């Protein structure tokens, strides 16, 4: 439960009236409903360019909020993990959106850390409850590992080039 003297919509309207920037990401807060559609945004080019990022973040938030809406089981530990796992996954999903669309290198590094740390915490919660871990896959920010049957292809550097020029191959010895 949120403690507030003003309803969220009133607080946002007051903030806008006082000249504070109100993000389109606050669209849920304006109505108080998780399924609220984003408020219309100006046709400004910067905002239009941000639309894919906003859409991904809204989808991540909707998925996270739905996942955190759990029915109590009577076991505080199970309920805590059931709510925190989707919360952490939401942070991962939002960090991935930053990595896809963001350009600030400091924030991109923080987003990478969020992906790694939140996944580790999800795994720790599952282990603490005796739940199985998901099968090993590449982190969303990494390439999938090469199949074990292709080690020669991984170490074949003959196709490498420098500045668009093919590197010379060593001469064959007799």
108-122: pLDDT as tens digits: 999 999 999 999 999
Q: Name the more confident of 63 and 23.
A: 63
In the chain, % of residues over pLDDT 70: 53
What are 141-163's pLDDT values in tens digits? 554 444 555 444 444 444 444 44
Looking at the fold, whether 47 and 114 belong to one and the same domain comes out as: yes
Looking at the fold, whether 17 and 74 belong to one and the same domain comes out as: no
Q: What is the pTM of this model?
A: 0.57
In a domain, 119, yes or no: yes
C-alpha pair distances (Å), 110 with each of 114, 116, 139: 6, 10, 15
Looking at the fold, whether 17 and 96 belong to one and the same domain comes out as: no
Task: Identify the domain containing residue 17 by its residue range.
Answer: 1-40
The predicted pLDDT at position 14 comes to 46
Looking at the fold, whether 48 and 107 belong to one and the same domain comes out as: yes
Which residues, other chains included, contact 58 with Cβ-Cβ below 8 Å and sequence gap of 6+?
25, 27, 38
The predicted pLDDT at position 99 comes to 97
The predicted pLDDT at position 42 comes to 59
The predicted pLDDT at position 147 comes to 53
Looking at the fold, whether 92 and 64 belong to one and the same domain comes out as: yes
In a domain, 16, yes or no: yes
Give me the chain's average pLDDT, please. Answer: 73
In the chain, % of residues over pLDDT 90: 47
């Amino acid at each position: 439960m949120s403690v507030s003297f003003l309803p969220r919509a009133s607080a946002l309207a007051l903030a806008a009236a006082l000249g504070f920037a109100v993000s389109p990401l606050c669209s849920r807060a304006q109505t108080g409903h998780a399924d609220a559609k984003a408020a219309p945004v100006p046709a400004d080019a910067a905002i239009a360019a941000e639309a894919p990022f906003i859409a991904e973040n809204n989808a991540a938030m909707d998925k996270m909020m739905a996942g955190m809406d759990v029915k109590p089981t009577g076991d505080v530990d199970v309920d805590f993990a059931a709510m925190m796992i989707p919360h952490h996954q939401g942070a991962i999903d939002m960090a991935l959106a930053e990595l896809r669309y963001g350009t600030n290198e400091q924030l991109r590094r923080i987003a990478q850390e969020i992906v790694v740390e939140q996944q580790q915490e999800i795994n720790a919660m599952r282990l603490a409850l005796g739940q199985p871990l998901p099968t090993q896959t590449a982190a969303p920010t990494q390439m999938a590992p090469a199949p074990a049957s292709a080690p020669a292809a991984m170490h074949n550097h003959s196709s490498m080039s420098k500045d668009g020029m093919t590197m010379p191959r060593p001469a064959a010895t007799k």
